[in-house]
Amino acid sequence: MGTPLPRDPIADARLNWERHGWSGVAAPMAAITAIMRTQQILLARIEGALRPFGLTFARYELLALLSFARSGALPMNKASALLQVHPTSVTNAVDRLQDAGLVLRSPHPTDGRTTLIELTPEGRTLAKSATAVLNSEVFGRSGFAEQDVDELIRILGTFRRNAGDFTD
Amino acid sequence: MGTPLPRDPIADARLNWERHGWSGVAAPMAAITAIMRTQQILLARIEGALRPFGLTFARYELLALLSFARSGALPMNKASALLQVHPTSVTNAVDRLQDAGLVLRSPHPTDGRTTLIELTPEGRTLAKSATAVLNSEVFGRSGFAEQDVDELIRILGTFRRNAGDFTD
DNA sequence: TCCAAACCCTTGGATGTCCTAGTATATTGC
DNA sequence: GCAATATACTAGGACATCCAAGGGTTTGGA
């Protein structure tokens, strides 16, 4: 948060694990803790880049997803599945995006249970601008070496598949 | 959340990025998104394992940190720095742990601004039990290949150092 | 045909994270 | 020695996530 620590706290945790006789799981513990911390750092960068647009990452992801849909609209349950978040999280995001005039809710033409989320012209424009900034300020300066990016994609892809995210 | 998707949504997002002319940042975008999703999966596993103890990951981390402190006590600001979370998050966690009788707040002997968090005997016992379960149910079955764990530790360690987490 | 089971979205509640601001205590510098 | 600055913790607010439950809509088998 503020000043860098003199020592890596995760490496220290690993040492503690080993000292307590849990050597067998010390490495995965360290890897998992590092993933948690890395996510926190990246999320902060992303939120910082999106703040000028009045967007959060959750809302941006929904906008981006809609912008790639051919019709610019998706059922809420589909958005929930693709974003891999709980349906109530989508409800929450749509509420706020709708208040901001970036999306609309419309009834599904044939299924009365389903609600479609539709991108407004303003929403489409904002998604484009926000993506440009994210690309240049965050993704373009991730701090990962090129080959490490490939490694991450491979390792985490395998993990996600095994965790049941997709069957691909 | 429920059924596996037929296709990897992150791989699809990467294709969309490439189709829109953002090939240069498509890979890091995919890697970062994968980190976000992986964190979500792991956190759910951890929280599931800790639920029987009435603990969340945030509270567990604090208990574990205290259990490794020689005296079983740490200043709140130190805990905030080591856990790398905002001071108010520590205040929140301590409030709940204190309500549960797992930690105590005590005044710092020489600095009136500082509050020490102290592990109670119950807190120490619970930390031990929770660690055993986490080790066997989560860290021991992470789903990462052994060499991938090492790769993750290396890649994310470099990232965290560059992000200013530590100078080590 | 008709009712039970399945599915979809929303509301309400619990947690965690961060930010901003405010109070109290220490430290610094003049 | 005292005022200005820095540090430590907490209160209040905004968001996001998940879970449990409830009301409306479809589907499917008896």
Given a cut of 90, whether residue A86 has pLDDT beyond it is yes
CA-CA-CA-CA dihedral for B76, B77, B82, B84, to nearest 10:
110
Residues of B in contact with A31 (CB under 8 A): 142, 144, 149, 152-153, 156
Q: What is the pTM of this model?
A: 0.95
Question: Which H helix or E strand runs over B104?
Answer: strand B103-107
Q: Measure CA B92 to chain center.
A: 16
Given a cut of 60, whether residue B49 has pLDDT beyond it is yes
| C-beta of residue A97 within 8 angstroms of C-beta of residue A59 | yes
Question: Which H helix or E strand runs over B133?
Answer: helix B121-137
What is chain A's mean pLDDT, rounded? 96
Q: Measure CA A81 to chain center.
A: 13
Tell me the pLDDT tens digit for each residue of A36-75. 999 999 999 999 999 999 999 999 999 999 999 999 899 9
Question: Over the range B96-112, which residues count as b (16 or more CB within 10 Å of their CB) and which as e?
Answer: bbbebebbeeeeeeeee
Distance of residue A141 Cα from the nearest chain B Cα, in angstroms: 9
Given a cut of 90, whether residue B41 has pLDDT beyond it is yes
A128 inside 8 A of chain B by CB: no
Residue contact B24–A151, C-beta within 8 A: no
Residues of A in contact with B4 (CB under 8 A): 164-167
Nucleotides on strand D lying under 7 Å from protein C-beta: 7-13, 15-20, 23-27
Amino acid of residue A159: F
Residue contact B25–A140, C-beta within 8 A: yes
Which chain A residue's Cα is nearest to B14? A153
E-strand stretches of chain A: 73-75, 103-107, 115-119
Query: B126 CB contacts (<8 Å, ≥6 apart)?
Result: B53, B55, B63, B102
